Structure 1
C-alpha cells in the first residue's frame, strides 16, 4: 500500500518559486548560504576543512547534545537526527502504528500526520480544531496514540497554559502514548521558545526541527526524541532510508542552534509584524469572512465567504496578483486559505495591497 498524493507539496512545487509574494509556504523565506554561514558563525574555510565521510547514523554527539538542551531532562542518547521531520515522522509511525491502531489528532492537519498512519492501517480520529485546545475534549477520546501538533499547522492555535498542564497530567495518569510534533517551538506568540510536552520517560515522544523557523529548509535536518530503546530501533530503521544526514548540514545545524540567540529575535519580530499587518488588513481582502490571529508558529487560517472554492480563489489570486496562498482543500477542509507569514515585511505589505485591490477573484 502507498500513501495518496501529497496535496500540499504538489501545489507548493508548482507555485512557490514563481510567486511574487509567497504566503503559501509554512516556513520563513529562505536565507542565502552566505547569510546562513554568518548566522551559524561558520567560515567558508571551516567547510573546506570538513571531512566528507558519513556522519554518525544517530547524528553527531555535538548536534544531539544541542538538540537535547531544548528539552528538559532529555539526554543526547534520546535524540535521533533525521533528514527533516518527514523522516522522523515516517520512522516513528512505522514503529507506533499497526493495523486498527486508533490515532487521534487535531483537525485539519498536515497531511503526513495522518496519511502515513492511514497507510499503515490506522483508524484516524479527527479532533476538530474548534474544541481541540481544551483538555476536556481529549479526555473523552479513547485512542492508542495521540498526536499534538503544537503550535498548530494550519491554524496557528496553541493551548492555554492551564489547559496544557491539565492535559499533560491526564496523559501521564492514564499512561498514554503521545507524539508531540513541535516544528514551530522557535516561534511562540511571545517569549523565545515555546512550551514542549516531550518527556521520553512518560512515553511523550517528539519530532522537531528549526529549518522552517530559521529560513533554512534546504538543510533538511530534523529530529526524533524518544526513550533510548525506541531511538535505537528507529536508528536501525533509518539505515534503510537516508542512513545519515550530510556532515555539511550537521555542521551548519549545530552552528545555528548554538548561535540562535543572535538572530532568532529578529526573525520572531519579522513574523509577528507580518501577523499584525495581516490582522489589521484581512477584512479588506475580497470575499473573506473570518480570521483567527495565530498564537504561535508561522501560519494562520483565513475563512472565505460561503460557497467559494478555495482552490479556484487561490488560483485566481496567483494569476491576477502573483500572491500565492494555500487552499484549504489541500488540507481536506474547504472554505479556508492557509496563510504563511514568512515573507519579508516589504513583500508582505505589497502582496496584501495587490490582494486587497483585486476585485475579480471569483
Structure 2
C-alpha cells in the first residue's frame, strides 16, 4: 500500500508540474492570436493587369441590316381607249427606254389626223389668199388677226390629232425589266388601265434604318459597303438621309446608291450595310474590361499613379468581337484588364503591365490577379 501511494503521489506531482508549466507560458498563444488578428486586419495587396487606353480620332462603323430597292418603279397605263392588237413583251422581258410595250387599235385616229391636216392646209391657203386682198385694199385689215387665229386653231387641232394617234403605242419610260404584266392581247382597255410594271435595276439602292443616336454621324456622300444574302457585295455612297423618323421604330431611313459595276442585283434582297460614320474621340479597350458600377453604370476600372482604383463611366461607340471603342475616358488612362471584378473603387492595388490574352491566367483564389 505504501508503494502504490507513492506512485499515485508521483503522478499527482507530475500532473501539477505539467499544468503549471502551461500556465507559466500562457502569454505566447495570446501573442500569436493578436498577430494573426493583425495580419487578418491588413488585406493582401491585389495584383491587377493594366493597359494604357489612349483617346484618339476614330471613324466609327455601324453595321445595319437592310434590303435592296429599285430606284425607279413605274406602273405603265393606257392613255387612250382601245383594244390591244400587239403585245410584244411578257413578264421578265428586258426593255429599253422608248421600246414598244403594247399597241392599241387605231380607233379612227389616223383618219382624224388626215382630217386635221387637210383643215390646216385649207387655213394656210385662205390666209395666203386673203392677205393679198388685204394688201390691195379689197379686204379690211381687221380681218388679218381673225385669219391668223383660225390658222393657229387649225395647227393646234392637227397637233392634238397627232398626239391622240401616238397614244395608242405604249412605250417603256426607261431601261428596266417588266416585273408585272396585267393584260393580254385582244383585251379592251380604257384610259388609266394598268398594262405593266417596269422596274429599273440601275441604279440599285440599299435601304437601311439607322437609330437616332447615330443619325448625326451620317451625311450624304459618306462611303458604304453592302454584302448581299446571295453572296455578292458592292460599294456605294449615301444618297439620302431622312429627316423624319418612322413612327413605329423611331429610326431614320438611309438610302445608299450602289455601284454594281454592271452586275444585276435583284430588288428586295436582304443585305448587310456597313456605314462609316463621322470621326469621334474614342479609345480602344478589351471587351472583357467593361464592368458595371454599383449604380449600374457601364464603365472601366482604372488605376492612378498612387495605385488607387477608380471608375470611369463610358459609352460604347463601336462594338467588336474582342475589343470595343468607348467614349468618356479622360485622355490616357491605365485600365484594369485583369482582376477588375475583384477590386473596388478606392482600394490600393499593385498594377502590372498586361500580357497577351493567350498567356493570361485566371484570377488566383487568394484574390490577386496572376500575371506572368
Q: Looking at secondary structure, tell me which structure has more strand per residue.
A: 2
Fold shared, TM-score > 0.5 on shorter chain: no
Q: Looking at secondary structure, tell me which structure has more helix per residue.
A: 1
TM-score (norm 2): 0.19
Select the structure of larger CA radius of gyration.
Answer: 2
TM-score (norm 1): 0.19
